[in-house]
Chains A and B, each alone.
Chain A
Amino acid sequence: MKPTDIAAPDYFHKVVDCQWACPAHTPVPEYIRLIAQGRYSDAYMINWQSNVFPGILGRTCDRPCEPACRRGRVEETPVAICRLKRVAADFKDDITQRLPRPSSKNGKRVALVGGGPASLTVARDLAPLGYHCTVFDADPEAGGMMRSQIPKFRLPNSVIDEETGYILNLGVDFKGGHRIESMKALLAEKYDAIFVGSGAPRGRELDIPGRKEAAANIHIGIEWLSSVSFGHIDKIGKRVIVLGGGNTAMDCCRTARRLGGEKVTVIVRSGFEEMKASPWEKEDAIHEDIPILNYMVPVAFKHVAGKLIGVTFQHVKAEFDAKGRRNLVPSGDPDQTIPCDDVLVAVGQENAFPWIEQDCGIEFDKWHMPKVDPKTFASTNPKVFFGGDAAFGPKNIIWAVAHGHDAALSIHKLLSGEDITERPLPEVHVSSQKMGIHEWSYDNDISVDKRFKVPHRDKVIALKDIRTEVELGYDVKLALGEAHRCLNCDVQTVFSTSLCIECDACVDICPMDCISFTENGEEADLRQRLKAPSLHPDQDLYVSSDLKTGRVMVKDEDVCLHCGLCAERCPTGAWDMQKYLIEMTYAGSACPTKSRSAA
């Protein structure tokens, strides 16, 4: 293999698995260290800079970082990154003085359609630069699906008010209760740029017999959640069936439990394991006495005199064809009718752009989605940008934020007369953490604690009031324990070939057998010859150039604890622990316009 180019910004970025997996590339270990030091406000600001909604995401994020977390490969469970984010939000001081000030306007006007996470991120990035941002939303208050679809027992209004407020107070114009009905009309208002962050607002239908006849007791999940959020609905029948296996289904069933549903059942087509809902959301639902039945396909709504009485299901099983594709085929068991009073349909969401006229210069593909450049987020109308669920279909908040940052950068470049396809490189800082022979500026003593559970409110109390938050969040002590579980993967092991005397001290001390000195070879061959088996080929090998004996140093990054013992035991300082900090490029970052790599 060729020597690893550690100067490429992506190499060390990938080693920080959580940050690499996060669509917004939040520097996770950096803020977790600050939490451990009790510097909650600092930790919050790092998050705010990167993901804009730390308090909201700390309760609701889909956590792409956690399955990636190295700790999950070292022991059973990853660090509770998401809930630590909430700790930063919960225990911070007043941070308003640290926020950007509304600046004098530069005369450029940007319209943002939809008041959800994508649009608000664009506004957050552009308003401090002097853009006049106007956010339109059909709902009276900002937040989009964060406010309308996520139940209050998971995300209280106070948190949404606070974090949307930080953005709106930057001098952003919020026009609530103002649905945009025509793109053409909006274009006619001569905005310099338009950003569409209107989400995926339509719940998918379930067209099976009885749907029309029993319509009064069949509700589309996201619409129903939204009506609950705004107080239009406050009760439901005693026996409720929720159809669908995503996070919306989990929100529906738990909400139903709080509105009078005594026997609430979730029923999914697929297997329990393949459900789209996050594992922890399934756990929370089961904890609230909601059974999840699987491999059952709804075939008809049963009704008597216009009143729903139950749903009939066909039992299926999974079969795999020659290409490994899964098919659900009837299992042969007789159909089963489960009695119920209400049904909540949460089988997916769809995009809908009835308000974008065909002659707006915005082209759509065959799936009726706008053609959007995945890097610049520009549509075929150079002035109109898309982001969040509106761009590529339903994902989650953190993706919307990431889209927002990139779209804001495009808008800023467009309105500065620059080429929006040139994306500036991120800024990277690498600095040694050595303080003394055995002293590092980070806590390298690896905690063996298992993941700490987040305390929940007592179930009896939690189920009584739909506005009572279920999760209490970590207290300071638990947060500290959890923060210590972080392996500081951003403190990188950096190797200098010229200093190495091949004494093997690092090989002998490494608790994870990450380091081998061996003859060079092709990657597949090298992976066979490492000191410990290479379990994850997607994890990079760090390969040095040729050493004095003609061998090379190979480090499997996979399960490195970043404990720094290799550097402590190295007599010549050939190993050093250096902190890697990558600053993503946002609108207004001053940097050269070299095209950037995949970071």
Chain B
Amino acid sequence: MPGLVPGIHDFLFLGQDVDGRVKPGHDGLGIAGARMTYIAKPKFHHPGLKKNELGYTHRDYEGKISTLCAGCGHDSITASIIEACYELSIEPHRVAKISGIGCSSKTPDYFLGNSHGFNSVHGRMPSVLTGANLANRDLIYLGVSGDGDSASIGFGQFAHSIRRGVNMTYIVENNGVYGLTKGQFSATADRGSKSKKGVTNTDNAIDLVAIALQLGATFVARSFSGDKTQLVPLIAAAIRHKGASFIDVISPCIAFNNHAGSTKSFDYVREHNDAVNRLDVLVGRDPIAVDYAPGTVQLVEQHDGSKIALRKIDADYDPHDRLGAQTFLQKHAAKGQIVTGLLYVDPDADDLHAHLNTVETPLNTLEADTLCPGSAALDKFNASMR
């Protein structure tokens, strides 16, 4: 019997889930051979994967497959967010992930596929997040942004969400370059660093960590996409922090900012990384087994009872000293060093809801008669103003 002609075997895959990369008009459903060949991440997982308290593996926290360039630092941050949420046993439907525009702002599609998401206008993530947070204070808010989205077009938005103390984890995936428009310097590119084409940057850089400290963020950290052992617990601690948490993650742009002369390349960051501490987040049932040499570990208890075990690398660094952190940061920046780790934390911080004295019940679940108590109540209120 003659065999099937090669190619006809595509019919088995008609109608399968198409991943995020297959754009409308591109996939060849029904036309054997025209189907795009890249594949969705296989559903199989390692048979020995550990499960968290909810019975999920880390694979259950994934989203669609990334469409970013191969090797992008942002994908490592995505993996770190997945890992942190898995380790904290967060229910995915309790998370709202909100972003703006840019490579970084695409990434919420690649993690927590079962969470709420909002891909907002360029630079407007902080406003959308603040609004959502006011309406429903019960969700975990994850703001994902980039250096363009937060340090240029959304600089004001960034500043105001931080100074208001919105309860959120604000992550900037910082590559110092406009990757989507082919490699112009962004506002966080260091003065004197070189573009891929060899042009030297003559503008001063915005240090988002310094700004966040100055504006009163109550959890401030910096890390590197190529150092997940530092980054994952930082994200976990930030999620557990009540108040405005800000993490600046240096994330090399593999296509436009990973060359000699760049200060945000894998090699440069590895050479100039000056970590002040590394941490472990201790939550829930996990026994607190800290077996580090005495004097090298500092325990920080957060508002919700979770603990951060800070393994000090720089023995003199005090993460409770906002002013000291700012000085330390600037001194080291002047020497060309990139300070990473948990730089400042106020474990007793308040958030915007405390400042506004809002009710505990999320506003979006209040009944109409509570929100609008009627004319008698209005009359009483007006009378109090006379």
Chain A residues near B (Cβ < 8 Å): 36-41, 73-75, 90-91, 93, 436, 438-440, 443-448, 476, 480-481, 484, 501-505, 507-509, 511-514, 532-533, 535, 548-549, 559, 561, 563, 565, 568-572
**CA–CA, A6 to B99, complex, Å?**
45
Cα(A505)–Cα(B225), bound, Å: 11
Residue B334 CB within 8 A of the other chain: no
Indicate if the CB atoms of A572 and B71 lie closer than 8 Å: yes
CB of A481, distance to nearest CB on chain B (Å): 7
Please tell me which one of the listed residues B13, B38, B46, B75 contacts residue A512 in the complex, with CB atoms under 8 A apart: B46
Please report which residues of chain B, range 35-88, place their CB below 8 angstroms from some CB of chain A when the two chains form the complex. 36-50, 59, 65-66, 69-73, 75-76, 78-79
A167: shortest Cβ distance to chain B, in Å?
24
| Chain B residues whose CB sits within 8 angstroms of the CB of A570 once the complex forms | 70-71
| B226 sits at the interface (CB 8 A) | yes
Q: Which residues on A sit within 8 Å (CB–CB) of B48?
A: 532-533, 535
A568 pairs with B38, CB closer than 8 A: yes
Whether the Cβ atoms of A73 and B36 lie closer than 8 Å is no
Q: How far is the CA of A37 from the CA of B8 in the complex (A)?
A: 8
B residues near A507, Cβ cutoff 8 Å:
79
Question: Would you call A503 and B3 a contact (CB within 8 A)?
Answer: no
- State whether A503 and B46 are in contact (beta carbons under 8 Å apart), knowing that A37-B6, A438-B38 are contacts in the complex: no
Most B CB contacts (10 A, CB to CB) among A91, A445, A512, A565 go to A445
Residue on B nearest A558 in the bound complex, by CB:
B46
Closest Cβ–Cβ distance, residue A570 to chain B (whole Å)? 6
B interface size (C-beta, 8 A): 46
Interface mask (B153-194 → A, CB under 8 Å = 1, otherwise 0): 000000000000000000000000000000000000000000
- Determine the distance from Cα of A443 to Cα of B226 in the docked complex, in whole angstroms: 32
- The reply to whether A535 and B254 contact each other, CB–CB distance below 8 Å, is no
B106 at the interface (CB under 8 A from A): no
Q: Are A565's CB and B9's CB within 8 A?
A: no
Q: Which of A41, A508, A568 contacts B75 (CB 8 A)?
A: A508
- The reply to whether B37 and A508 contact each other, CB–CB distance below 8 Å, is no
B38 touches A448 (CB 8 A): no
Contacts of A37 in B (CB 8 A): 3-4, 6, 9
If over half of B's interface residues share one DSSP class (helix, strand or loop), that class is named, otherwise mixed; here it is loop
Q: Chain B residues near A446 (CB, 8 Å)?
A: 39, 42-44
List of A residues within 8 angstroms of B69 by Cβ: 571
A41 to chain B: which residues have CB within 8 Å? Answer: 3
User: Would you call A75 and B44 a contact (CB within 8 A)?
Assistant: yes
Contact sample, A vs B, 17 pairs, CB 8 Å cutoff: A37-B4, A37-B9, A91-B1, A438-B37, A446-B39, A446-B44, A504-B76, A505-B76, A508-B75, A508-B78, A509-B65, A511-B41, A511-B44, A532-B49, A568-B70, A571-B69, A571-B71
Shortest Cβ distance from A481 into B: residue: B12
Inter-chain CA distance A479–B41, complex, in Å, is: 24
- Residues of chain B contacted by A36 (CB below 8 angstroms): 9
Collect the chain B residues with CB atoms within 8 Å of residue A505's CB: 70-72, 75-76
Nearest-CB residue, chain B, relative to A574: B71
Interface string of B1-22 (1 = CB under 8 A from A): 1111110110011000000000
Extra A-B contacts (11), CB below 8 Å, given A37-B4, A563-B39? A439-B37, A445-B13, A446-B43, A480-B4, A484-B12, A501-B71, A502-B226, A504-B75, A532-B46, A559-B46, A569-B70
- Asked whether, in the complex, the Cβ of A509 is within 8 Å of the Cβ of B41, the reply is yes
Residues of A with C-beta under 8 A to B59: 511
> Is B228 engaged at the interface, CB distance under 8 Å to the other chain?
yes
Q: Does B266 contact A (CB under 8 A)?
A: yes
Assess whether B270 is interfacial by the CB under 8 Å rule: yes
The residues of A that contact B341 with a CB separation of less than 8 Å are none
> Which B residues lie within 8 Å of A569 (CB)?
66, 70-71, 75
B3–A91 touching, CB < 8 Å: yes
Nearest-neighbour CB distance to chain A for B149, whole angstroms, equals: 22
A53, chain B: closest CB distance, angstroms? 21
* Chain B residues with CB below 8 A from A90, complex form: 1
Distance (whole angstroms) from the CB of B78 to the closest CB of chain A: 7
Cβ of A294 to closest chain B Cβ, rounded Å: 30
Chain B positions within 8 Å of A512 at CB level: 44-46
A504 contact from B3, B37, B41, B228, Cβ within 8 A = B228
CA distance A448 to B16 in the complex (A): 11
> How far, in angstroms, from A504 to B226 measured CA to CA in the complex?
7
**Cβ contact of B36, chosen from A438, A444, A571, cutoff 8 A:** A438
Residues of the A chain whose Cβ atoms lie less than 8 Å from the Cβ of B13: 445
Cβ B3 vs Cβ A40 within 8 A: yes
> Please, how many angstroms separate the alpha-carbon atoms of A535 and B37 in the complex?
32
**A74 engages B228 (CB within 8 Å):** no
**Bound complex: CA of A448 vs CA of B13, how far in Å?**
11
Nearest 8 Cβ contacts at the A-B interface: A38-B3, A571-B71, A438-B38, A38-B4, A446-B42, A533-B48, A508-B79, A532-B46
